[in-house]
Structure 1
Amino acid sequence: MGVPTRPFDAAKYLNAPEAVAEYMTAAFETDDLAFIADAIGVIARSKGMSQVARDAGVARESLYKALSPSGNPEFGTVLRVLQSLGLRLTAEVRETSLEPA
């Protein structure tokens, strides 16, 4: 018999605003839309999906579906959810960006 294990759940470790911000930043750096949506979902679960859904004005079931790895949330939904999580989008220049001509 092996050692009993449980699936890893990142939501259990997102207990500080700085951890949430780092997790979201890492997700954005992947450029993987499915992973980004899933990461927002993980953060929402860490805060309580029902409360996040209420704060964002979205049905809880719709939020689960939109933020799943196979979901495709509307940008407005993403912005409302991020706001309800106490996050905001920012932009920075990529290191690989082209220099102006």
Structure 2
Amino acid sequence: MSKMIPVDSTEFLKDRNEQVMLLNDAFADGDPSVIMRAFALIALAENKNKPQMAEECGVSRSTLHKALSIEGNPTLSTLIGIIKSLGIKPTFELA
């Protein structure tokens, strides 16, 4: 029987360009859980301290934790706080 080797996916997200590609793909997918998982993975890759990140977002740690979970459905202000905390500048274009 073959052995499964654990892989830390955040290792692939140390590069900011990889993070942008992940977010673009997540938003193209359109599934909110995929989008929030992408933000959570980027936060892990950036070694963001959750208490500090929550403070930067203006929310409690539990609210941030819930927002970054697969079941998360953050308010717009929480999402904007997450984006700012991660140092991301969103851009938009016509479809």
TM bucket normalised to smaller:
0.7 to 0.9
Structure 1 position 72, deviation (Å): 0.7
Residue of structure 1 in register with 2:23 after alignment: 24
Give me the TM-score of the superposition, normalised by structure 2.
0.82
The secondary structure found in structure 2 opposite 1:36 is helix
Residue of structure 2 in register with 1:54 after alignment: 55
User: Moved runs in structure 1, 4+ residues, more than 6 A?
Assistant: none
Structure 1 position 70, deviation (Å): 0.9
Q: Which has the larger radius of gyration?
A: 1
Share of identical aligned residues, percent? 31
Residue by residue over 1:58-79, the C-alpha shift from the partner in whole angstroms, topping out at 9 and shown as x without a partner, is 2223212111111111111111
Residue ranges of structure 1 left out of the alignment (5+ in a row): 95-101
The secondary structure found in structure 1 opposite 2:91 is coil
Residue of structure 2 in register with 1:81 after alignment: 82
The secondary structure found in structure 2 opposite 1:2 is coil
Structure 1 position 52, deviation (Å): 2.4
Residue of structure 2 in register with 1:5 after alignment: 5
Q: Considering fraction of residues, name the structure with more helix.
A: 2
Structure 1 position 20, deviation (Å): 1.3
* Count of aligned pairs between the two proteins: 93
Residue of structure 2 in register with 1:69 after alignment: 70
State the alpha-carbon separation in 2 of the partners of residues 61 and 9 from structure 1.
Answer: 24
Residue ranges of structure 2 left out of the alignment (5+ in a row): none
